[in-house]
């Protein structure tokens, strides 16, 4: 079993099977194609979910407008805040979640539609306020790209906090990078211009970052809501203690 004195050269090893390399390439490409195809289907299903949510909001707004039209001739006693759609926050949440992962045309289209729905909701809310004396708290938020708007991220954090803490506060956010003519008109009405962020609170336009404390100064209703929450929580505690 001694090794022969044969010199070692490349003929000693198996020759490369190039057809196997090509076959591997084809199978790998097919696997990638399959993964991307499944991913595309999942994306479409996700977009479909958003569209169905938009339809719900659209239906809610239409229903509110019809209700408003019916009540216009009579009194406001049956009208309260609940007439407004409650789904907007949910859609906003989903859109901001998807914004980080999707930036295709279809997504931008959905976002534009969402902005139009916000304007419709805002306009309906204003009409209700005038007619029936409702005072829902609303904030319009205009923002730009991260690079051009240093304070937008901070402002978003404050508004997210308000949205989570005070579900009745209606926050309408508008991405100024999208060209939606109705948003342009809204911006003109409130004299919104760069630099962003710009906030419109109670018809007043504020440029730059506003802290939570500043917001509460502008919107004393928030402080009242805080008080109510504290009272509610203390009464809940005392009730449970008495049990």
Binding site for another protein (CB under 8 A): 1-4, 8-16, 20-21, 23-25, 27-28, 31-32, 34-36, 38-39, 42, 45-46, 49-50, 93-94, 97-98, 100-101, 103, 153-154, 157-158, 161, 164-165, 211-212
Query: Among residues 27 and 230, whose Cβ is nearest to another protein?
Result: 27
To the nearest 10°, the Cα dihedral for 172, 175, 181, 182? 0
Minimum CB–partner distance for residue 40 and another protein (Å) = 9
Q: Least distance in Å: CB of 3 to another protein?
A: 5
Q: Looking at beta carbons only, is 42 or 178 nearer to another protein?
A: 42
| Residue among 13 and 77 whose Cβ is closer to another protein | 13
Nearest distance from C-beta of residue 17 to another protein, angstroms? 9
Q: How far is the CB of 23 from another protein (least distance, A)?
A: 7
What burial letters (b/e) apply to 188-219, b meaning 16+ CB within 10 Å? Answer: eeeebeeebbbbbbeeebeeebbeeeebbebb
Q: Which is nearer to another protein, 45 or 181 (CB)?
A: 45
* For another protein, the closer CB: 50 or 200: 50
* Ramachandran class of 209: left when φ > 0, alpha when ψ lies in -120 to 50, beta otherwise: beta
| Nearest distance, CB of residue 238 and another protein, angstroms | 22
> To 5 degrees, how large is the angle CA 20–CA 25–CA 29?
150
Residues near 53 by beta carbon (within 8 Å), at least 6 away in sequence: 87, 90, 91, 94
Q: E-assigned strands of 137-240?
A: 138-143, 170-175, 198-201, 204-207
């Amino acid at each position: 079993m001694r090794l022969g004195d044969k010199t070692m050269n490349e003929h000693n090893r198996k020759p490369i099977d190039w057809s196997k390399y090509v076959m591997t390439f084809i199978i790998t490409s097919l696997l990638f194609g399959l993964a991307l195809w499944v991913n595309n289907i999942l994306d479409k299903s996700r977009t479909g979910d958003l569209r169905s949510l938009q339809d719900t909001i659209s239906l809610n707004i239409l229903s509110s407008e019809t209700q408003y039209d019916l009540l216009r001739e009579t009194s406001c006693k049956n009208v309260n805040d609940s007439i407004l759609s409650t789904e907007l926050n949910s859609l906003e949440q989903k859109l901001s979640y998807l914004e980080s992962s999707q930036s295709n045309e279809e997504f931008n289209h959905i976002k534009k539609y969402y902005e139009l729905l916000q304007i419709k909701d805002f306009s309906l809310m204003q009409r209700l306020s005038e007619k029936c004396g409702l005072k829902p708290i609303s904030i319009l938020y205009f923002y730009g790209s991260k690079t051009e708007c240093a304070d937008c991220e901070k402002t978003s954090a404050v508004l997210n906090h308000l949205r989570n803490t005070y579900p009745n506060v209606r926050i309408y956010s508008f991405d100024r990078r999208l060209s939606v003519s109705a948003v342009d008109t809204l911006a003109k009405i409130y004299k919104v211009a760069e630099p962003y962020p710009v906030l419109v609170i109670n018809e007043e336009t504020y440029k730059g970052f506003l802290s939570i404390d500043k917001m509460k100064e502008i919107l004393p209703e928030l402080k009242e809501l805080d008080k109510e929450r504290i009272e509610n929580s203390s009464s809940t505690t005392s009730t449970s203690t008495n049990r």
